[in-house]
Amino acid sequence: MAENHEATRVIPKVDTGRREEVHAVLMAVATALREKGYNPSFNITGYLLSGDPAYITSHNNARNLIRRIERDEIIEELLQQYLR
C-alpha cells in the first residue's frame, strides 16, 4: 500500500503532568548552561536539531536531565509557550 504524503499527520499531545516536567527540565538545563557561560538558546537549539547531547553541559546533571525527555516533547513545550 502506497503511503499518502499529502495527509496531515497528528502528533500525540504531551500530557499536562509531563509538560510540567519538561518545563522544569528546560529551566534547570538553561540555568546550568548560563552558569557555565553558554547561551541556553543556542545550545538547546543545537541539541534539538542534532540530537547530540554534547551541546548540553554535564554541569548540575543537565545533560542527563535533558536526555530523559524526548526532543519532540521539548519542541512542543517550547512552541506552546511561544504561541501563548
pLDDT tens for 4-36 read 667 766 666 656 678 889 999 999 999 999 999
Mean pLDDT across the stretch 32-53? 97
Cα gap 39→37, rounded to integer Å: 7
Residues 6+ apart with CB under 8 A from 29: 40, 44, 56, 62, 65, 66
Claim: this prediction has a pTM higher than 0.85: no
